[in-house]
Structure 1
């Protein structure tokens, strides 16, 4: 799989800045982001940390936030960066995803109820973002990023209060 992703696959304009990606492309590339994370984890298990970091860096090069928005599929990439001992990069990604999730949750919780009546998906969006916070907390705690974990926990508790009210 490493050879396919790193050498054989052609990304069909993915690296161009003027290519439009519709929601189907974005969903497909988001899922591929998870595959990069899983491949990196496997390489780390095989003691190929340098190869894992190359895979992760290639993933971030191909799928930056401005093209393929960060979402829950970034979690596997963050985890792999921590396991490859690239804590600084992992922490930067955690912060970016944390900020994005916070912006989204602030938006959802501050919407006037007249605009949310009958929108079941809005509840799903809140739950997905709360799930992301839980996963970020778990990953940062497991990787002894205590200050980062405290920040995530505080935000999670704040949003859970809003969710339950």
Structure 2
């Protein structure tokens, strides 16, 4: 894991990055694998497309450990985070240290698609049916096999800062 010295949405010369930072989004951790082979990454670039079957489209860094784990397992799990999980989000984004590993932060349950956060406001998971390069990202397309929704409001990220919803 690399701890970056710069913030990923800091004011930059790249107008696309600045525009994207103003969109904001719900914060989640995308995960794959099990045991010592688990990998995860903080994401805000994702969408759920309802249908039969529903699809979960997630943009990730193609060089990330998560991309490698998804290629190995063929599955993906995405857990929503709350305000109380913002330190966990920083660690999975590679912006904060996680002594002993990222999965020591929070309580995780293993599913057949990957680890999910036990106390988050919800999660969706399923098999990855397509991997497509889009811009500088890798789009993971997972058919939604299971969705769990719990009480709690999801964490929001906009212009480089976490915000409480509402």
TM, length-normalised to structure 2: 0.21
Tell which structure's C-alpha radius of gyration is larger: 1
TM, length-normalised to structure 1: 0.21
Structure with more helix by fraction:
1
With CA pairs under 8 Å and 6+ residues apart, which has the higher RCO, 1 or 2? 2
Structure with more strand by fraction:
2
